Amino acid sequence: MNVTEKVINILKELGYKVFENVELKGKSGLTYAIDVYAVKEDPFCRIRVAVLIPQGKITKDMVLQAKMILSDVESVDRVIIINTSGIEKEAYKLAETGTPVLIVSLDALAKTAEEVEEFQHYAFKLLVDEDRARSLVKQYLLNSYLASAKVRSVELVYKPYYLIYYRTTVDEKQLFGGMFVDAVTGKIETKLATLAPKALSLIQKKLYKASDIPTVVEEPKIDEDRAKKVAEHLFVGEQPEIVQCQLVYLPVWRVELVYKGRTYLLEIDGVEGSLLSEPNIKAGLLDKVLTYLYEPWKALEDFGKKVLRYLSVLGTREKKIIIFILLILILLIISISVK
């Protein structure tokens, strides 16, 4: 069995789909010959590895070629060169600069291929089960004018976020912080702010059985560089130092509601149970009245302040008319609540 056959067997045992003697075209229009091209996919990521197998010692030119493949070919995430006959000193130094080209022996290939997978395989532990999610939805509906809404479906979705840890200086004091940037919309998710400080303890390497793999996993639409720029734009003056930027997947319970014949979505964080998004419904007059009934004290306080502010600029006749209208509204509210 020659080296190429051994490489193919090792990658196949690790679950890769393997292709031999492939030509890949780069963005520049150049075509590159790849000895072994391997792809591994799961719901969380896709790893595409190009393996080069030299006939002799690894040269500087070969490493340059590998780096060109990395930068020019979009369908390659990592390049591995198999070391069978030694490596030139300059070639080794070049391989470690910038985006590294991995140079390994045949015996170390299996371990290296597994390490390549780790850079993107992170998901938060699901701590809020479906029963708890449904209970939170019910509680949310009872405390809003959506009490009559019906739950059509509850689905577990894994959403991609960039977890960014940063260091900055304020008043000569160094501060450390973390934030989440939505990898689909590119917006900072402020509702996950309390999760960031303890995120590392809640993150685990993805080790799912086939039966445990979620059916819906959203793909990121923005890259790491853009996520970092979003984080940096949050600060005025001196820019923060980005300490770490990691693509992570957050379990989210996506709830489909039916209200007045229309369908709306509500999302609940599957780690802490916080509400990430709620239905964007334009409330009618009756809906607003019902909201006041569900939250009487706060509603009464807000309403009273607005009325007093409005009455302060009206004349005596206008005040009498407004007070009369308010009395009618109060009677209507009482009659509705009695029913």
User: Domain check: are 136 and 236 in the same one?
Assistant: yes
Does an H or E element contain 268, and which?
A: strand 262-269
Same domain, 94 and 153: no
Residue that has been written with the tokens 């809003």 in this structure: 144
CA–CA–CA angle 78, 80, 85 (5° rounding): 165
If asked whether residues 137 and 258 sit together in one domain, one would say yes
Coil, helix or strand at residue 234: coil
Residue 80: CB atoms within 10 A of its CB come to 24
Answer yes or no: are the C-beta atoms of 256 and 204 closer than 8 Å.
no
Place of tokens 């004349």: 315
Question: Both 84 and 161 in a single domain?
Answer: no
Give yes or no: residues 142 and 80 share one domain: no
Do 173 and 254 fall into the same domain? Answer: yes
Contact 157, 217 (CB under 8 A): yes
pLDDT at 210: 41
Instruction: DSSP letter for 198, please.
Output: G
Neighbouring CB atoms inside 10 A of 272's CB total 15
User: What's the CA gap between 189 and 127, in Å, rounded?
Assistant: 19
CB burial string 13-35: b at 16+ within 10 A, e below = ebebebeeeeebebeeeeebebb
Nearest of 115, 59, 114 to residue 83 by alpha carbon: 59
The verdict on 256 and 292 lying in the same domain is no
Given this model, what pLDDT does residue 165 score?
Answer: 83
Q: Give the containing element (helix H, strand E) for 125.
A: none
Same domain, 88 and 153: no
Per-residue confidence of the chain (339 residues) as pLDDT tens digits?
A: 799 999 999 999 988 999 999 999 998 999 999 999 999 876 556 788 999 999 889 999 999 999 999 889 988 888 999 998 889 888 888 887 766 788 888 888 888 777 666 545 577 878 899 999 999 988 888 777 677 788 899 999 988 898 888 887 767 777 777 888 999 999 988 777 666 555 555 655 444 444 455 567 788 888 888 988 888 887 766 677 887 788 888 889 999 998 888 888 899 999 888 888 877 665 554 555 555 554 554 555 556 656 655 555 455 666 667 777 777 877 777 776 555
Last residue of a domain, one of 118, 137, 161: 118
pLDDT, residue 109, reads 86
Would you call 119 helix, strand, or coil by DSSP? coil
Amino acid identity of residue 331, one-letter, is L
Predicted pLDDT of residue 284: 52
The domain boundary residue, chosen from 277, 300, 323: 277
Do 234 and 299 lie in one domain? The reply is: no
User: What is the secondary structure of 21-33 as a DSSP string?
Assistant: EEEEE-TTS-EEE
- What's the pLDDT at 211? 45
Residue finishing a domain among 277, 296, 311: 277
Instruction: State how many domains the chain has.
Output: 3
Dist CA 278 CA 158 (whole Å): 17
Residue 130 and residue 270 in one domain: yes
Tokens at 246, concatenated: 């990691």
Model pLDDT, residue 209: 42
* Residue 272 and residue 128 in contact, taking contact as beta carbons nearer than 8 Å: yes
Domain that holds residue 312: 285-338
Same domain, 89 and 186: no
Q: What is the pLDDT of residue 339?
A: 54
Contacts of 2 (CB under 8 A, 6+ apart): none
Instruction: Provide the residue type at 72 as one letter.
Output: D
- Dig out the tokens for 35 from the structure: 């000895």
Residue closest to 137 by CA, chosen among 250, 251, 249, 252: 252
Query: Based on the domain organization, do 15 and 98 belong to the same domain?
Result: yes
Longest dimension (CA), the chain: 101
What is residue 319's predicted lDDT score, i.e. its pLDDT? Answer: 63
- Bridge partner residues of 179 (DSSP): 164
Confidence (pTM): 0.53
CATH number at residue 97: 3.40.1350.10
What are the CA-CA distances from residue 295 to residues 42, 115, 191, 323 (Å)? Answer: 46, 53, 22, 23
Q: Both tokens of residue 286?
A: 């009756």
Residue-level pLDDT at 179: 86
